[in-house]
Amino acid sequence: MAVEFLMPSLGPDMASGTLVEWRVNPGDVVKRGNVIALVETSKGVIDVEVFTDGTVLKLLVEPGTTVPVGAPLAELSGTATEAPPRSEGPAATPAPAAAALHAETREAAHPVRPGFKASPAAKAKALALGIALEGLTGSGPDGAITLDDVARQAASVTAPPTLRDVVARAMSRSKREIPHYYLSLTCDFTASQAWLEQHNAHASVVDRILPAALFVAAVAKAARALPGFNGYYGDHGFAQAEAVHVGMAIALRGGRLVAPALLDADRKTAPTLMAELRDLTARVRSGHMRGSEMSQATITVTSLGEEGVDVVLPVIHPPQVAIVGVGSLVVRPWIVGGVVSAAPVVTLSLAADHRVSDGRTGARFLASIRDALQTPEAL
Amino acid sequence: MNTTDLEPKVLKLFLEVAPDVDAAQLDRAAPFRDQFDFDSMDTLNFAIALNREFAIEIPETDYRHLASLKQAVNYVRNAISGAAAHNQSS
């Protein structure tokens, strides 16, 4: 049975993407997780993986073509099509629409009314994008309007959004819809720093660990332990995610920002997370993000420590419900047992969705991160 | 190793770590951080690249000597000649 490989949704605001390059040819055998195409979105060029095992039968789209989310890009042989990676997300994300389109695209074009033809997929997409079919010239059989025609019209009507537009839209939605509350907690980093220094003094440069990996590991463990901070808020309220995928806000040169995910971070050690974080940062900055990393974060960590700020008051990335900010690591007077000493400290902050959690559980969440940082060898 | 052609090699490694940087814009004496928002992760990746290419150990406390192209070239030159002298004496 032939299955279709569809233009994936690589973020809640993505309506279309441009195929940049095929990494496979007809006849190639592919495995789930293989990168088979490069797709350009407003977030940059992203490596897109296939979500089924099979053989490539036919490439349906030429490089350079812009198509909507959910449009078929290629035909593969296989036994089942699995949903795109956003299956945990709320119904508001485009994934279910993509699945619906998949079911419809195999039907032949049929007339809507005499003298007016459009494929079901084209109709669905036009409806989703708010484009009137009546004004379009069809390029399909008998002048039927195809998905391509709708995509061309969409591209001509609206210029593709820049990454700044995407960030602006997501942050506006966040501040419009999410009742944020904020907490902060200054933590003693002495134990973590000592552990890092000792580990790094004996480690080859490739195995050294930065504080960021400890923060991600500690946040992931807190997100697993306490409900209400890890998941998505959708049309039907909050859905706790079973896996913990920690989005890491990474600044790109030129002032752009992305937050790809470290998958299953709660089940990985700090050294493993460090290796992944290093690889992820290098790939993101050289333009090789993977689709599954772009759309799957269940909670986010943002660090502005290197910019010298004491505390970050971050904005939640919808549809997530929490984000943890990490301030600068600084040496401050610190009192333990009535004795003042100089200690490395860091101020952690939490912005969380008050529809889902409240200040008391938020305080426990931050305390849980702080406690994890006191035993870094266990992270 | 001939150290006169070190700078192009170090520059090439820097550009692998920061491929989005325009090499023509690079001021070889100015810190990467000030020019290109180079952060600790970039620095670590740069140190790893230098370690691989030149087989030199770079302790964490020496990262500050890799802050600019000029500094990094000097650091690598010293590290290589130090290793060579060490090998000759042993």
Chain A residues touching B58 at Cβ < 8 A: 205
Q: Average of pLDDT values for A298-312? A: 91
What is the maximal distance between C-alpha atoms in chain A? Answer: 87
Question: A29-30 and A237-240: which strand pairing?
Answer: unpaired
Query: Strand, coil or helix: what is A334?
Result: strand
B44 touches chain A (CB under 8 A): yes
B11-15 mean pLDDT: 92
CA of A123: how far to CAs of A17, A73, A96, A221, in Å? Answer: 19, 18, 16, 45
Q: Specify burial of residue B34 (Cβ count, 10 A radius: 0-12, 13-18, 19+).
A: exposed
Give dist(CA A127, CA A150) in Å, integer: 10
Q: Is residue B24 one of the residues assigned to a domain?
A: no
Instruction: Kindly report, residue by residue over A226-249, the tens digit of the pLDDT.
Output: 989 999 999 899 999 999 999 999
* Cβ-defined contact of A278 to B44 (cutoff 8 Å): yes
CB of B45 within 8 Å of a chain A CB? The answer is yes
Q: Is residue B50 part of a domain?
A: yes
DSSP per residue, A233-246: EETTEEEE-SS--E
Total of domains in chain B: 1
The single-letter DSSP state of residue A76 is E
Q: Does B84 touch chain A (CB under 8 A)?
A: no
Domain of residue B45, CATH code: 1.10.1200
Q: Which one is the CATH code of A163-378: 3.40.718.10, 3.30.559.10, 3.40.50.720, 3.40.50.150?
A: 3.30.559.10
User: Cβ A254–B20 below 8 Å, yes or no?
Assistant: yes
Q: State the count of interchain CB pairs (< 8 A) between A and B.
A: 50
Identify the DSSP state of A138: P
Interface test with A, best of B38, B48, B76 (most A CBs within 10 A): B48
The answer, yes or no, to whether residue A205 has pLDDT greater than 60, is yes
Distance in angstroms (rounded) separating the CA atoms of residues A285 and A169: 23
Q: Is B19 on the interface with A (CB under 8 A)?
A: yes
**Beta carbons of A358 and A235 less than 8 angstroms apart:** no
Mean pLDDT of chain A: 83
Question: Domain limits of chain A?
Answer: 1-106, 108-161, 163-378
pLDDT value at A273 more than 90: yes
pLDDT at A347 over 80: yes
Minimal CA–CA distance to A124: which of A62, A69, A166, A83? A69
Residue B44 domain-assigned?
yes
Closest residue of chain A to B61, computed from CA coordinates: A201
The shortest CB-CB distance from A200 to any of B45, B48, B60 is to B60
CATH architecture observed for domain A1-106: Beta Barrel (2.40)
pLDDT in tens, A32-47: 888 888 888 776 778 8
Rg (CA), chain B: 13
Residue B23 sits at the chain A interface (C-beta within 8 Å): no
Would A1-106 and A108-161 be classified into the same CATH topology?
no
Q: How crowded is the C-beta side of A163, counted as CA atoms within 13 Å?
A: 14
Under CATH, to which class is A108-161 assigned?
Answer: few secondary structures
User: What is the model's pLDDT at position A351?
Assistant: 98
Residues of B in Cβ contact (< 8 Å) with A301 = none
Question: In the prediction, which pLDDT does A291 show?
Answer: 79
Task: Count other C-beta atoms under 10 Å from residue B50's C-beta.
Answer: 23
pLDDT score of A155 = 66
> CB-CB: which of B45, B47, B59 is closest to A282?
B45
Question: Which tokens go with B41?
Answer: 């992760």
Instruction: State whether residue A378 is helix, strand or coil.
Output: helix
The C-alpha atoms of residue A246 and residue A220 are separated, in whole angstroms, by: 7
CA–CA separation, B76 and B66 (whole Å):
9
Among A197, A204, A278, whose Cβ lies nearest the Cβ of B41? A278
Which pLDDT band holds residue B5 (cuts at 50, 70, 90)?
confident
pLDDT surpasses 70 at A88: no
> Which residues of chain A have a CB within 8 Å of the CB of B41?
210, 212, 277-278, 281-282
Q: Hey, what amino acid is at A133? A: L
Nearest to A353 by CA among A365, A343, A341, A335: A365
Q: Which of A78, A71, A63 is nearest to A29 (CA)?
A: A78
Q: Nearest to residue A297, comparing CAs of A223, A209, A218? A: A223
Q: A85: pLDDT confidence band, cut at 50, 70 and 90?
A: very low
**Residue A348 in this model has a pLDDT that exceeds 70:** yes
Tell me the shortest Cα–Cα distance from A216 to chain B, in angstroms. 14
Are A205 and B44 within 8 A, CB to CB?
yes
Nearest-angstrom CA–CA distance, A322 and A244 = 12
Q: Provide residues of A within 8 Å CB-CB of chain B.
A: 197, 200-201, 204-206, 208, 210, 212, 251-254, 277-278, 281-282, 285-287, 306
Inside any domain, residue B26: no
**Residue B90: predicted pLDDT:** 44
> How many angstroms away from the CA of A249 is the closest CA of chain B?
13
- pLDDT of the residue at A110: 33
Would you say residue A221 has pLDDT above 80? yes
Q: What SS3 state is found at A260?
A: coil
The residue segments making up the domain with residue B60 are: 3-17+31-89
The helix or strand, by DSSP H or E, that contains position A91, with its residue range, turns out to be: none
The CA distance from A214 to the nearest CA of chain B, in Å, is: 14
**In chain B, what residues touch A212 (CB-CB under 8 Å)?**
40-41
The region of weakest confidence among A51-55, A226-230, A278-282, B59-63 is A51-55
Nearest to B51 among A205, A251, A287 (CB): A205
The residue assigned the tokens 């960021």 is A212
Asked if the structure places residue B74 within a domain, the reply is yes
B51 touches chain A (CB under 8 A): yes
Distance CA(A284)–CA(A260), nearest Å, equals 8
